Structure 1
Amino acid sequence: MAEPIAQPPLGPIMRSLPKSVLPYAQLIRLDRPVGTWLLYWPCTWGITMAAYATNASLLDTAWMLSLFGVGSLIMRGAGCIVNDLWDRRLDQQVERTAMRPIASGQITPKQAIVYLGGQLTLGLGVLLSLPLDCLLLGTSSLVFVATYPLFKRFTYYPQLMLAFTYNWGAMLGFPAMGHWDVPTMAALYASGICWTMVYDTIYAHQDKRDDVLAGIKSTALAWRENSKPVMAVFTIAQIVLLTGAGVLNGMGPAFFAGVGWATYRLALMIKNVHLDAPKDCWKWFVDNIKTGGVIFLGAFVDYLMKLFGLM
């Protein structure tokens, strides 16, 4: 088995929940919000860059950022339920996941499916709050959400399917703000895909010993000792594509400063992460929350400067 990974203590909100509710909160990972942040950041990039391009009002931009924040929380939760339903037998064989609510028997598959229906209903409510032309683009991402868990059984690249899913908001943010700019949307989306390939490979290195025994496939097992060089290539591609999206959108200096700062953080992560130490992998995986925030901050500062006539 892999080195035991310390579970973080429950926060005050989780501790205040009734015992009967707590497994449902843990099923949608309310105790581990890192996945929600990593899903949300690409949404904020798309929204803010579209707002910059269209001189959208601060109120409209804040509303859309809030709506996507709620949507990210709901859809990440729905994705976790789907993942845990598919993986309940596999999760029992991996130390880090063995105590997940479905794998450990705290929640039955039938109960989880009912809960999933509630999550998807809430997600539909958020989607219907967006402009009508977002509906088809938004619902099409459900194909990736539903099939992602299958890929770890048949291919060493389930991270790619996760990357397709987790960065959908980078494209959706543009039409949500009433702005279709396909080249910029595509460059931003591709940049996010490269980012996810890196951070989720680091995540996968936590479980590689158990994964071999359980028959679970990942890029961590495909790339092995070449993981860092390959991740470096993906990071270079990420930064080139992100810079390209900024150029296409006519972004200002704050955005490119944010890209530079993110580049430094990513290079530091790849250099320093110890891929054979699960706790260190988790630490650097979580650190990507700050990297995503840095990119958003640069875009948002440019947006504010343009909005108030400072550039």
Structure 2
Amino acid sequence: MQGNSPVPDEQIADAVQGNWVDTRAPAFARPYLRLSRIDRPIGTWLLLIPCWWGLTLAILDGGDPRWGDLWIAVGCAIGAVLMRGAGCTWNDITDRDIDGSVERTRLRPIPSGQVSVTGALAWMAAQMLLALGILLTFLPAAIALGFLSLVPVAIYPFAKRFTWWPQIFLGLAFNWGALLAWAAHAGGLSWGAGFLYLAGIAWTLFYDTIYAHQDAEDDALVGVKSTALLFGKDTPRWLSWFLVGTVSLMGVAVLEAVLPDASPLVLVLAIGGPWAMGWHMAWQLRGLDLEDNRKLLQLFRANRDTGLIPLIFFGAALLA
């Protein structure tokens, strides 16, 4: 499936320095692993973390932890790697002409000629089939949500062509796991799941606007849209609103999950999750420099920790 590459086997601009794909993976596999962004694991974390939010809050909501929840947590982790890989492959297929015109993405496997479109489609299908095998081990409601998730995933790569808000479509796709994992535990959804999903979308608007500022100049030249271009120098004010939205909506989700039966200790621990997450987002705002791409990438990657912070509090609430 691999074509002859006309360019050297260089590291892609935003890949983690010294990652194992570039240093240890077999040469024939590297283009496909790069298509799946295995050399840039932050996206997998950002897809996985809402799944774990949904699972932990669903357990708090029902008050009925089960051994099967361990499989849901592990299955979501494996599924996040596979579906993030499939989604990124689809994104690179649809964006192959644009990526070749943007400095940060010109060395991606398809525009650089390392992988053909046919090879990329086959790779995407293989990842999706493996993910399907995991999905089918969950409850029927979660399986149905898994199939529905393909709609925002399919639409997202085209969003920047018709709206200034493509980050909303990314949020719809990346936070679907909050609903799926909730349903995998509970067999259905509640208002808490819905508010948690909206909190994740607000968070995605926060971190992906930061990320999009790296490409703002190239995007303007190519003619694609983003919140970074829409907000411009007013970005910090918008990010502040997304911070407030994330914390507020997650706070409502927590209250929906734990009330009215939670003890004061469980309530304080659970509500501490969005509060601490908000402080970490505020720290990012204090360090924001829209002209420094290195800093923008650093802050974007810091959102792994941002998303894990509430899980520490939710986990403590489960143990209380």
Q: TM-score range by the shorter chain?
A: over 0.9
1:155-194 alignment, distance < 5 Å: 155-194=163-202
Decide which of 57, 62, 69 is 1:54's aligned counterpart: 62
What whole-Å deviation, never above 9, does each CA across 1:122-144 have from its counterpart, x for those lacking one? 11111101111212211111011
CA–CA distance in structure 2, aligned partners of residues 22 and 147 of structure 1 = 27
Taking only the aligned residue pairs, the percentage that are identical comes to 35
- Say yes or no: does 1:201 pair with 2:201: no
Q: Give the ranges of 4+ consecutive aligned residues of structure 1 lying more than 3 Å apart after TM superposition.
A: 4-8, 55-58
Worse overlay, 157-166 or 272-281: 272-281
CA–CA distance in structure 1, aligned partners of residues 252 and 285 of structure 2 = 22
CA–CA distance in structure 2, aligned partners of residues 5 and 124 of structure 1 = 31
> Between Structure 1 and Structure 2, how many residues are aligned?
302
User: Deviation of residue 14 (structure 1)?
Assistant: 4.7
CA–CA distance in structure 2, aligned partners of residues 133 and 265 of structure 1 = 34
CA–CA distance in structure 2, aligned partners of residues 145 and 69 of structure 1 = 18
Whether contact under 8 Å (1:5, 1:279) holds in the other structure is no
| Residue matched to 2:262 | none
CA–CA distance in structure 2, aligned partners of residues 209 and 243 of structure 1 = 36
User: Deviation of residue 271 (structure 1)?
Assistant: 2.4
SS at match of 1:191: helix
Decide which of 237, 259, 279 is 2:274's aligned counterpart: 259
Q: Does the C-alpha gap of structure 1 residues 122 and 185 become closer, same or farther in structure 2, counting only changes over 3 Å?
A: same
User: RCO greater where, 1 or 2, for CA within 8 Å and sep 6 or more?
Assistant: 1
1:28-107 alignment, distance < 5 Å: 28-57=36-65, 59-107=67-115
CA–CA distance in structure 2, aligned partners of residues 83 and 21 of structure 1 = 19
Q: Gapped runs of 5+ residues in structure 1?
A: 306-311
Across the aligned residues of Structure 1 and Structure 2, the Cα RMSD in angstroms comes to 1.5
Whether contact under 8 Å (2:159, 2:165) holds in the other structure is yes
User: Deviation of residue 57 (structure 1)?
Assistant: 3.5
CA–CA distance in structure 1, aligned partners of residues 152 and 77 of structure 2 = 20
Whether contact under 8 Å (1:54, 1:179) holds in the other structure is no
Decide which of 238, 249, 253 is 1:241's aligned counterpart: 249
CA–CA distance in structure 2, aligned partners of residues 200 and 300 of structure 1 = 27
| Residue matched to 2:130 | 122
User: Deviation of residue 109 (structure 1)?
Assistant: 0.3
Worse overlay, 246-255 or 147-156: 246-255
CA–CA distance in structure 1, aligned partners of residues 156 and 16 of structure 2 = 26
Q: Which TM-score applies when normalising by structure 1?
A: 0.93
Q: Which TM-score applies when normalising by structure 2?
A: 0.91
- Say yes or no: does 1:219 pair with 2:219: no
SS at match of 1:216: coil
CA–CA distance in structure 2, aligned partners of residues 234 and 187 of structure 1 = 14
